[in-house]
């Protein structure tokens, strides 16, 4: 096995695989280290989650050559309906009015993960799986990565290490990068429902005092549900009967789609904002969920992570073509600086939505509902919100 590389990516999930694909024609020698077997990845419950892909993200997936192979598995979002339970305010966004084919798409994470993994397997990247990183040693010219693969211990060397190994990132921990954690006291209940009325490619975002409820359109007239409740409410709902759960969900959402019926198991995910103190260390960088985990309210987690990937790949390509060190301190600082504004904007927006809408204080409720109503009648403001939802304000 080759032990020297230009780049070592730890994490063979979406972020790591997309980075490998973005670099496949650059001449950079790349190794991917993944702790799980392909079977474990394929059968992970996390694969059931629905990803809301902004239109800007779709453009980036097209550039990676990924979108063409998964478009058949994705459902277009042609309309977005935003409302506030118990109040009059609402606004509606339309792909037709924005003169685009779709505001975004919804796809099962497993479909996207499987396709990107197959694309990487057909590339020149070396995949070491299953294997765990057990130690790091950064030097002036390279970083040494100690891994355990079965009974064998190996040391790999590279100019740069990329931690793309998710929210529980071992690389972040080995680099001693601290985290800032904001507990929301909320849990996301995730499932799939089938409705008696057609969803007409409409995504619904309904705000309630205990948290937002999102219904995202998917195939076969089904909707992926992401229902945020307080931790106590979520626990009670998970222990309730299927009929009681559906009754609560129907009462919260209403009958815009007729009667709802479960078509998948219900899973619970505690919610918090987790943000790494920094993105870079000596000859190392962390991306995607390793550096930021967001509340699902705006569906921006994967979209933000893919922008990390695309920007890092762009800078790495330019650095390599200029025959410069891809692990140099100044280079990594430039990457962190370019990503900081986007991170701050998206995380700030998400936090503000949670604070403003998960609250039934009467003056605030009146103000936000007036805002939703005004927004629905101001075309330029709606167009700006549509562009934000499509991820175009961040990618233009």
CATH number of 4-180+272-395: 3.50.50.60
Q: Report the distance separating Cα 395 and Cα 110, nearest Å.
A: 25
User: What is the pLDDT of the chain when averaged over all its residues?
Assistant: 87
- Tell me, what's the pLDDT at 349? 73
50 compared with 285, residue with greater pLDDT: 285
Can you give the pTM of this predicted structure? Answer: 0.88
For residues 198 and 107, what is the distance between their CA atoms, to the nearest angstrom? 18
Distance, CA of 53 to CA of 388 (rounded, Å): 12
Q: Are 70 and 107 in contact (CB under 8 A)?
A: yes
| Residue tagged 């294997």 (tokens) | 131
Look at residue 179 in the predicted model and tell me its pLDDT: 94
Q: Computed over its alpha carbons, how large is the radius of gyration of the chain?
A: 22
pLDDT at 395 over 60: no
- For the stretch 283-303, pLDDT in tens is 999 999 999 988 776 567 899
What are the structural domain ranges in the chain? 4-180+272-395
Instruction: Please give the Cα distance from 336 to 161 (Å, whole number).
Output: 15
Residue 194 pLDDT grade (very low, low, confident, very high; cuts 50, 70, 90): very high
Q: Which residue has the higher pLDDT, 61 or 347?
A: 61
For 335-357, the pLDDT digits (tens) are 999 999 999 988 887 776 666 55
Of the candidate ranges 12-21, 58-67, 387-396, the one whose mean pLDDT is the lowest: 387-396
Least confident piece of the model among 33-47, 100-114, 150-164, 329-343 = 33-47
Q: What pLDDT score was predicted for residue 50?
A: 87
């Amino acid at each position: 096995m080759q032990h020297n590389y230009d780049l070592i990516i730890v994490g063979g999930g979406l972020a790591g695989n997309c980075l490998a694909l973005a670099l496949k024609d650059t001449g950079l020698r790349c190794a991917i280290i993944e702790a799980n077997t392909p079977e474990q990845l394929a059968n992970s419950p996390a694969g059931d989650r629905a990803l809301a892909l902004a239109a800007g993200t779709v453009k980036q997936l097209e550039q990676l050559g990924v979108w063409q192979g998964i478009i058949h598995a994705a459902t277009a979002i042609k309309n977005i309906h935003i409302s506030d339970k118990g109040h009059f305010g609402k606004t509606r966004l339309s792909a037709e009015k924005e003169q685009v084919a779709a505001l975004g798409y919804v796809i099962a994470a497993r479909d996207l993960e499987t396709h990107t993994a197959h694309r990487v397997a057909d590339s020149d990247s070396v995949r070491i799986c299953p294997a765990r990183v057990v130690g790091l040693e950064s030097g002036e010219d390279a970083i040494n990565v100690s891994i355990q693969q079965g009974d064998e211990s190996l040391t790999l060397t590279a100019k740069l290490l990329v931690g793309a190994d998710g929210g529980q990132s071992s690389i972040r921990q080995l680099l001693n990068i601290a985290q800032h954690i904001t507990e929301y006291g909320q849990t996301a209940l995730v499932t799939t429902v089938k409705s008696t009325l057609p969803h007409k490619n409409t995504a619904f975002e309904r705000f309630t005092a205990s948290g937002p409820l999102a219904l995202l359109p998917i195939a076969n007239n089904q909707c992926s549900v992401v229902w945020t409740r307080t931790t106590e409410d979520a626990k009670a709902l998970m222990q309730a009967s299927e009929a009681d759960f559906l009754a609560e969900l129907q009462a919260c959402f209403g009958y815009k789609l007729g009667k709802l019926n479960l078509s998948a198991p219900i899973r619970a995910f505690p919610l918090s904002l987790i943000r790494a103190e920094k993105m870079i260390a000596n000859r190392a960088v962390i991306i995607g969920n390793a550096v930021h985990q967001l509340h699902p309210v705006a569906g921006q987690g994967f979209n933000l992570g893919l922008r990390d990937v695309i920007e890092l790949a762009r800078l790495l390509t330019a650095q390599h073509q200029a025959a410069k060190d891809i692990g140099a301190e100044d280079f990594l600082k430039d990457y962190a600086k370019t990503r900081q504004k986007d991170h701050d904007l998206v995380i700030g927006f998400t936090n503000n939505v949670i604070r403003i809408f998960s609250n039934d204080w009467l003056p605030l409720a009146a103000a936000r509902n007036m805002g939703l109503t005004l927004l629905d009648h101001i075309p330029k403001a709606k167009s700006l919100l549509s562009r934000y939802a499509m991820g175009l304000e961040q990618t233009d």
